[in-house]
Chain A
Amino acid sequence: MPIKNIVYAQREHGGDLRSLDDYLAAGGYKGLEATLGMSPDDALYQFHRSGLRGRGGAGFPMGRKAGFLPKDSAKPSYVVCNADESEPGTFKDREIMELNPFQLIEGVTIAGFAVGAARGYIYIRGEYEHQARILDEALAAARADGRLGGDIMGSGFEYDITLSRGAGAYICGEETGLLESLEGKRGQPRLKPPFPAVGGLYQSPTLINNVETLSALPPIMTHGADWYAEMGTEKSPGTKIFSVSGHVLKPGNYEIVLGDTTLRELLYDICGGFREGQDFKACWVGGSSVPVLGAEHLDTPLDYESLQEAGTFLGSAGCIVMDTSGCIVRSSLRLAHFYRHESCGKCTPCREGTMWMEKVLQRIVDGGGRMEDLDLLDAMFGRISGRVLCALADGAVAPVQSAVELFRDDFVRAIEKGAPEPEPMMEAPVG
């Protein structure tokens, strides 16, 4: 289970590839050079062949999505990079943009060439102003060096990238909410279809991908799709960055080959395990919007299909870990609070459901819970899912519903005695 440095490439280069010279010295822009030497269709075929899946949460095959864009559209096409990164527990895109910004810019350029885009956009969350400034500088450096703008690297390809800043809203990470925001509207998700590939930004064909997905394109185009596809499993090719946080001793971003490492190896060998006297209790492995796992799942290999078999999702791989000092009831309440705050309010089941979920859990934590509250929660889960416009609602239900099922005893105890007071604050992370 060695750590890889393919997308998280800066780890091999002193931790920082922020200057264009350093990036070039590390082999940067070879992928774009190779791409510009082939036809757009051949480039699309390479994406497809690599098996690369979307790293923003849904895991949809990237090449297939790029292939959905109509080739004969009268309107211009666009590439939009989703850099809204607001899924709790996820902080990989931040470090890519901060430490290896040119790899993302190169990736957005490669994607733009393959789908014949008129322009690329990077939509970055408003809270990442520090990273936005780094990207602004990197974009200017790429432009000055003929790697963006007219006649890129002497190929005749004309393309530029605009950096757009958000202003604080988790829902703008949902792809159609993002498009609304980019169009200058409230960031509320759209009814699909039309899908973005056909009617996206300004109703034009639009390819939307996550930062990590697009940053995987330069190495794929440099070393070849087969090189990438050979890593990982058949259904989960390549590498994935796991953002690990919570009670482990060494939180951080770790890029691993999919299927190669178990959850136990990630938490104990790579992340240093737990404090003296504590051990693993629970983990939201794919960000906060997925079902929680307990100790019985520690030997699950980290790939899309194995995690699904274990009853959860790989999601954004924002792996939040709790040790035996934590309280699952308080944690569930905090997540319910998050989703209630971030629900955009457009669909009644989501707006009302997230509000009630928080209220009932708050009552339990405060010591006023009743046994019927568990049935009440159960009934609520059923009424929220499936009747809404976007996946936020399912993401709100999944962690809470699974916690009530898997850790029912903890909820019963909290109803009988109130939720335990939190343990004293954990000392600063080491390493």
Chain B
Amino acid sequence: MTADEIRAHIDPMRHEFAESRSLVLPALKFAQTEKGHLDRDDLAAVADAVGLTSAYVESVASFYDRLYLKPTGKRIVSVCVTLSCLLRGSDELLRRIEEREGLPHGVGTTDDGELTVQEAQCLGYCDRAPCVQVDVDETMGPLSADDVERLLDDLRAGDRPERLWR
């Protein structure tokens, strides 16, 4: 993404922060929506738009789980594995994904590059455990292993969203 596109996104919020550095997270999140991850050029564009160095921007980006510095699939599927979900069967979901997609422990990017499955820590939907989130769409649950299988099929068949908020 270009620095100008990023500027157009963050300029309307500038007055809300006493220091412009606060715009780095909104800028990174927006820059990521183009490809689903951030490459060197994106980091440089964010640095330019916010007025920071690329090295600084990269060190911030690397801190956050939901900013991706490596290519990901069309959709990211986050399976919660924390305690409430463990107690209601999250590991069965991952086992099914492992079986079906051939991903070790059920996580990673599928061979066709369509889907990235990752382990998530508590998603805040423990009353609907075990639960799964696709990108930053609303978290779904409780899901059975069969539900998850259907979900993966649907996501594969579905279109790539115009902007990849994740």
Which residues from chain A sit less than 8 Å from chain B, CB to CB? 76, 85-91, 93-94, 119, 125-130, 160, 162, 164-170, 181-188, 202, 204, 243-247, 251-253, 284, 288, 318, 320, 322, 326, 330-331, 334-335, 337-338, 341-342, 344, 422, 424-426, 428-429
A289 to chain B, nearest CB (A): 11
B84 at the interface (CB under 8 A from A): yes
**A94–B123 Cα gap in the complex (Å)?**
10
Q: A183-B19, A184-B24 are in contact. Are A169 and B127 (CB under 8 A)?
A: no
Q: Which residues of A contact B50 (CB under 8 A)?
A: 184
| Residue of A76, A88, A169 touching B63 (CB-CB under 8 A) | A169
Please determine whether B83 and A246 come into contact, CB atoms closer than 8 angstroms.
yes
B121 at the interface (CB under 8 A from A): yes
Q: Which residues of B contact A167 (CB under 8 A)?
A: 25, 28-29, 64-67
B87 to chain A, nearest CB (A): 5
| Residue of B78, B126, B136, B145 touching A243 (CB-CB under 8 A) | B126
Q: Which residues of B contact A322 (CB under 8 A)?
A: 87
Q: Nearest 10 CB-CB pairs, A to B?
A: A425-B89, A168-B65, A168-B66, A245-B126, A184-B21, A129-B136, A167-B64, A184-B24, A245-B84, A186-B63
Please determine whether A89 and B121 come into contact, CB atoms closer than 8 angstroms.
no
Chain B window 36-68, contacts with chain A (Cβ cutoff 8 Å), 1 for yes, 0 for no: 000000000000001000000001100111110
Q: Which residues of A contact B133 (CB under 8 A)?
A: 127
**A130–B83 Cα gap in the complex (Å)?**
23
Q: Which residues of B contact A245 (CB under 8 A)?
A: 84, 126-127, 129
Q: A127-B136, A331-B87 are in contact. Are A318 and B19 (CB under 8 A)?
A: no
Q: Which residues of A contact B123 (CB under 8 A)?
A: 127
Q: Which residues of A contact B21 (CB under 8 A)?
A: 183-185
Interface band, chain B: 35 or more
Q: A126-B136, A338-B121 are in contact. Are A89 and B65 (CB under 8 A)?
A: no
**A185–B21 Cα gap in the complex (Å)?**
8
The chain B residue with its CB closest to the CB of A186 is B63
**A92–B93 Cα gap in the complex (Å)?**
25
Extra pairs beyond A91-B124, A126-B66 (17, CB < 8 Å): A88-B121, A91-B125, A94-B125, A127-B66, A128-B124, A166-B25, A167-B64, A181-B25, A243-B126, A251-B126, A318-B126, A331-B86, A338-B122, A424-B89, A425-B89, A425-B144, A428-B144
Which residues from chain B sit less than 8 Å from chain A, CB to CB? 13, 16-19, 21-26, 28-29, 50, 59-60, 63-67, 78, 81-84, 86-89, 91-92, 120-130, 133, 136-139, 142, 144-145, 165
Q: Which residues of B contact A243 (CB under 8 A)?
A: 126-127
**A248–B124 Cα gap in the complex (Å)?**
17
Q: Which residues of B contact A184 (CB under 8 A)?
A: 19, 21-25, 50, 60
**A335–B82 Cα gap in the complex (Å)?**
7
Q: Which residues of A contact B89 (CB under 8 A)?
A: 422, 424-426
Please determine whether B25 and A91 come into contact, CB atoms closer than 8 angstroms.
no
Q: A94-B125, A127-B139, A170-B121 are in contact. Are A320 and B84 (CB under 8 A)?
A: yes
Q: Which residues of A contact B122 (CB under 8 A)?
A: 86-90, 288, 338
Please determine whether A246 and B121 come into contact, CB atoms closer than 8 angstroms.
no
A125 to chain B, nearest CB (A): 7
